Amino acid sequence: MSERKAVHIVDDEDSVRRSVAFLLRTAGFDVHAYASGVAFLKEVRTVRPGCILLDVRMPEMDGMEVQRELAARGVTMPIVVLTGHGDVPIAVEAMKAGAVDFLEKPFEKSVLLAALDVAFKRVERCRRAAVSAREAATRIARLTPREREVLLKLADGLPNKTIAYDFGISARTVEAHRANIMAKLEVHSFSAALRLVYAANAGAEMHDVTEGGGA
């Protein structure tokens, strides 16, 4: 049996929390409810990763403030914004800030489930991307500092002769580095090597690692 997906309801209206929680539990979700954004923020570091249903209008901190604070803390759980006031401009602002969708209360069960389906698909995409990034970073870590430098130059589209001139080495040495890079990355084409670089978001990191690297 697959693990129940976690949904965190953040809404100051008790009736909304209870009704939405009941609806989602009967649909097979693991539901946690919070009466305010402040209450959720106190617990957010220890909650199960999942999706957040976030009301726009709440006392103490409104939904937009909570969304900004989550972003500042590096919390990346997808957010579906809830509004009972037809505040479309606010909802649009929330989506520009990264929210998956917004729902106007009252909403149908099918609409809520469809929004959550989109949110959890985003979670899965992020999970797969994180796995790919870790695998790519592991492969790139096998390269020597100079091989990383050569890979960056190649990724910038520079020809072997230019790279050789920049490093004060021969074009044949650049070719040797390229062959070693391909072998260590376990790829058979340079486009595959580039995909690893992009997957690992390695550009800036590799520049830091290779700063002042040796031959």
The CATH 3.40.50.2300 portion of the chain extends over 6-131
Rounded to whole angstroms, how far apart are CA atoms 54 and 62?
9
Which tens digits make up the pLDDT trace of 124-136?
Answer: 877 777 778 888 8
Which tens digits make up the pLDDT trace of 17-68?
Answer: 999 999 999 999 999 999 999 999 999 999 999 999 999 889 889 999 999 9
Beta-sheet strand order (sheet of 50-55): 30-34, 6-10, 50-55, 79-83, 101-104
DSSP sequence for 78-97: -EEEEESS--HHHHHHHHHT
- List of residues 6+ apart from 91 with CB closer than 8 A: 56, 81, 83, 99, 102
Looking at domain 6-131, its CATH class is alpha beta
**Does pLDDT of 174 surpass 90?**
yes
Rounded to whole angstroms, how far apart are CA atoms 68 and 98?
10
Which tens digits make up the pLDDT trace of 6-30?
Answer: 999 999 999 999 999 999 999 999 9
Q: What is the pLDDT of residue 44?
A: 94
Rounded to whole angstroms, how far apart are CA atoms 119 and 29?
13
Rounded to whole angstroms, how far apart are CA atoms 106 and 14?
14
Percent of the chain with pLDDT over 90: 50
Q: Specify the fold of 141-210.
A: Arc Repressor Mutant, subunit A (1.10.10)
- List of residues 6+ apart from 76 with CB closer than 8 A: 126
Which tens digits make up the pLDDT trace of 69-123?
Answer: 999 998 889 999 998 766 767 777 887 777 888 888 888 899 999 999 989 988 8
Please say whether the beta carbons of 177 and 215 come within 8 A: no
Q: What is the pLDDT of residue 86?
A: 64
Rounded to whole angstroms, how far apart are CA atoms 184 and 188?
11
Query: Which whole number is the average pLDDT over 135-156?
Result: 89
Query: Which whole number is the average pLDDT over 142-169?
Result: 91
Which tens digits make up the pLDDT trace of 104-113?
Answer: 888 889 999 9
Q: Please tell me the pTM assigned to this model.
A: 0.64
CA angle 67, 27, 88 (to 5 degrees): 35
Rounded to whole angstroms, how far apart are CA atoms 184 and 177?
10
Winning range, highest mean pLDDT, from 21-30, 136-145, 146-155? 21-30
The CATH 1.10.10.10 portion of the chain extends over 141-210
- The one-character DSSP state at 172 is H
Average pLDDT, the chain: 85
Q: 209 pLDDT band (50/70/90 cuts)?
A: very low
Query: Which whole number is the average pLDDT over 165-191?
Result: 92
